[in-house]
Structure formats: structure tokens, C-alpha cells
Amino acid sequence: MNNINQVLHIDKETCDPEAEKLFIEIGGLGRPGEKFDRMRANAKEIRQKVDSRIVMDAVYSYFEDIQLQGNQLTVGGQCLTCNAFEQIEPSSVRGVYVYLLTAGKYDCEDEPILDQVFADMWGTAFTDAALALLEDYLGNDKRLSEVFGPGFFGMNLSQMQELAKLVDADSIGVEVREDSYLMPIKSCGGLYFVVTDKYTSVNTACADCLGNASGCQFCSINLQHKELLG
């Protein structure tokens, strides 16, 4: 059964511990010394400045009526293409969650440059923390695949247009621009397959693929194999 345009409000305080951990990792601020003590103190001040802007919402739709064939996924009347889909056995897929998520606005144009950098890092940290919570929520009683989406696993960024037609971006204040970028900037979109125990994870080397079939050994081998088979 399909379940369309469900909105999930993500609690800021719940995300705080994971976001702080991610922030430290992103900035490499876990090292000892007075310099890094000052930087961590400054980062906490910026965290307080952007506090009112941290508004994390997600909208998702679940589809059971899907078709996965080769590198194409047809869902809700939209066709999404990703070479990594070819590694998925269709019989191991039960359905698909499609989502958009935003963590709010973190621009601090009138602040010193380092403060702007820290604000941007906080935005990235809260986006990633919110996505982790969304994944836990969606996978509470289901097994999920890796997260796929425009910009990951070789899926072209332009396909954000097709993906966004499957969820109501307006319901969480997200705009999909003509160039397929999302506004606010600290937003993301993608999909999870709901899978059976027979599901085999996609090759991890494909996670950051930019979609160039001749760009890595994995795709090149598969491409050569197809040519040999005619």
C-alpha cells in the first residue's frame, strides 16, 4: 500500500549529540591544544547564534507498486536512473521510500569568515544527523537498503526534478530550483529500498560515483562484460 507525503518533524535536541560529534569530525577539531580549545569554544558560540535557524523537517512517500529493471526504477510515474541499480536483485525489493529533508538555513553573511564556515559546518552536521534519525524512523520495522539519490551512486543531480515530484517539497519549505539544487542549501533528497533478507548491499566503491561508466574499475569490468555478451 502506498503512503504519500508524510511529514516528519525532527527534534533539534534529539539531534544535538550526533550533530556535535559530526561537527567535530568535519572540522577535525578533536585534537588537543589551546588552539583547538579556542576553536571549539568559538564553534559553540556560533551554534547558539544559529539555534533559531535549526528547523529540521522531512517529507516522505512510500510506494509498493514499483518496477526495477536494469539501471532504471519506475515509481509513481517517474523514472529514476542509476547504474548501481543493476547490482540489485529485483526480487529482493518490496518497495521504496522517497524523501526530501531540510535542516534549515545557516547563512551568516554579515559575520566574520570563520564564523560563516562554522555555521555552514553546523548545517552539514545537523543535516547528516537528521538523515540518520529519518533512516532509523523509516527502518524501525523494515530492512532498508543504502540511501540512493541524486549525486550518489552515479545518479545524476538533474534527477532531483523527478524525485521531487514524488513528495511535496512545499510541505517542508523546500524549493527545487531549475538547476536541480535544493533551497535551503542544507537540504537533501533520496530514496531507500525496502528489502528482504536476500538483499545484497551495493559495492561500496560506487557510493561516491559521479556516473562515468569508464571512470572506475568496477564499472569498466561490467561494461566490458556486457560488450562481450553482445
Q: Is the pLDDT of residue 227 over 50?
A: no
208 lies in some domain: no
The x, y and z cell numbers of residue 52, run together, are 533559531
Report the percent of the chain where pLDDT is more than 90: 81
Rounded mean pLDDT of 213-228? 51
pLDDT for residue 216 is more than 70: no
Q: Is residue 81 part of a domain?
A: yes
Residue 214, domain member (yes or no): no
For the cut 50, the answer to whether the pLDDT of residue 84 exceeds it is yes
> Which one has a higher pLDDT value, 186 or 208?
186
Residue 31 confidence (pLDDT): 94
In the predicted structure, residue 97 carries a pLDDT above the cut 80: yes
In a domain, 219, yes or no: no
Residue 69: what pLDDT?
A: 96
Over 60: is that where the pLDDT of 212 sits? no
Amino acid at 49: K
Q: Is the pLDDT of residue 230 over 50?
A: no
Domain span at 187: 3-203
93-121 as b/e: b if 16+ CB within 10 A: bebbbbbbbbbbbbebeeeeeebbebbbb
pLDDT single digits (tens) 35-58: 999 999 999 999 999 999 999 999
Q: How confident is the model at residue 136 (pLDDT cuts 50, 70, 90)?
A: very high
CATH number of the domain bearing residue 77? 3.40.109.40
Asked if residue 209 is part of any domain, the answer here is no
